[in-house]
Structure 1
Amino acid sequence: MIKTEMAAALNEQINKEMYSAYLYMSMSAYSNKIGLKGFANWFMVQYHEEMYHAMKLYEYVQRQGEDVKLEALATPPASFESALDMFTQTLTHERYITQSINDLMDLAQSLKDHATQIFLEWYVTEQVEEEENDNDIIQQLNLIGSNPHGLLMLDRDLSSRMTTVPTDFSKGVEAAAA
């Protein structure tokens, strides 16, 4: 069983991960609207990853004997200035999530909650990957500049991204991953 303070912080993180999924779903919808189907695919894959992150937390909180407390989610933006704007916002958001995960790790360490520290190590590693992916795409978009041919080539590349996480959580995250 985890301490109440840790459970509250993990519940807050569940809601942050759910908002992340919501944000990326909005970006996917916008990308589809403007004809960037590859970008739409990339953001929808990201949506599934964020839902997986939320569900891992959800199940961990329950396995620790605590209640899951879901909050209302803020409305994400529905339109964006450009593909670069979407990825700049994505990187900013992922940095916010990274800081939140680091804060959770600090809290777990201060509470001497070794189980939660071990659990959170996966998220620490995941956030390094998230920021690296966003930075790579931002670099490509900066190289492309206003070249529509370059944008379409990147769009084609992003269309090949596939979901690598389970998407059916009806039997739980662990069962879905097996």
Structure 2
Amino acid sequence: MATTSILRQKTSLQESVLDILNQQMGVEAHSSALYLSMSAWCYAQGLRGCGEFFRKQSDEEREHMMKIFHYITHAGALAVSPEVPKVEASFDDLRAILVKALDQEIQITENFNKMTEHCQKVRDFQTARFLQWYLDEQLEEERQARRCIEIFDLMNAKDALYDIDREIHDLKKGE
């Protein structure tokens, strides 16, 4: 047992990099919870397509968190299970949710940019390369969030909620 503990303490991950990776797991967990809350709100409004869309977004964010978890553990370091603070459960309308989702994705992109910059600064090129996948993914996430707002705005909001709901749902089908 003592041998395993000693081996687990030996890792090429620097403490500062481990800290930001663990922090990002918390961001991903919070994002997953937020999207699940958005999904629940949509379902409660009868927007089943949007509810399904945001449920899938929630699942993706958890997968992103787990990808970081596995990276940390495979490097022999300690991944810390994130605490998720209470997330918003009530929203003004669908457009407000769509804007919040875009803001969330932009913030996550900024996080990954800062993380990559830090990794390069401390010469942890392996982790910087690992983070490149997230940067590529965030480009797609932001594009999709912008498209949802475009669909909403193009269809003139309340008069076309059924069509908006269907179009947003279909965005996930096209992946």
Is 1:133 the counterpart of 2:144? The answer is yes
CA distance in 2, matches of 1:163, 1:72: 33
Of the three residues 54, 57, 66, the one matched with 1:43 is: 54
- Percent of aligned pairs sharing the same letter: 29
> Is residue 48–residue 163 contact of structure 1 (8 Å, CA) maintained in 2?
no
Tell me the alpha carbon deviations over residues 14-71 of structure 1, each in whole angstroms, 9 at most, x when there is no partner.
Answer: 1100101000000000000010000000000101110110000000011111101123
1:64 equivalent to 2:75? Answer yes
Mark the runs of 5 or more structure 1 residues left unpaired by the alignment: 165-178
Q: How many matched pairs? A: 163
What RMSD over aligned residues (CA atoms) do the two structures have, in Å?
A: 1.5
Question: Which stretch shifts more, 62-71 or 39-48?
Answer: 62-71
Query: In structure 2, which of residues 97, 108, 125 is the aligned counterpart of residue 114 of structure 1?
Result: 125
SS of 2:76 mapped into structure 1: coil
CA distance in 2, matches of 1:158, 1:86: 13
After superposition, what is the alpha-carbon deviation per residue over 1:90-120, rounded to whole angstroms, capped at 9, x for unaligned? 0111111111111110011001111101100
Higher helix fraction (1 or 2): 2
Residue 10 of structure 1 pairs with residue 17 of structure 2: no
Gaps of 5+ in 2: 1-11
Which residue identity lines up with residue 79 of structure 1 in the other structure? S
1:16-165 correspondence to structure 2 within 5 Å:
16-148=27-159, 150-160=160-170, 161-162=172-173
Distance change in 2, residues 1:151/1:5 (3 Å): same
TM-score (normalizing by structure 1): 0.87
Mapped contact 1:108–1:116 kept (Cα < 8 A): yes
Counterparts of 2:27 and 2:110, CA distance in 1:
12
1:108, 1:154 → 2: CA distance?
41
Q: Is the 8 A contact 2:22 2:79 kept in 1?
A: yes
Alpha-carbon shift at residue 163 of structure 1 (Å): 10
**Which consecutive aligned stretches of 4+ in structure 1 deviate over 3 angstroms post-superposition?**
none
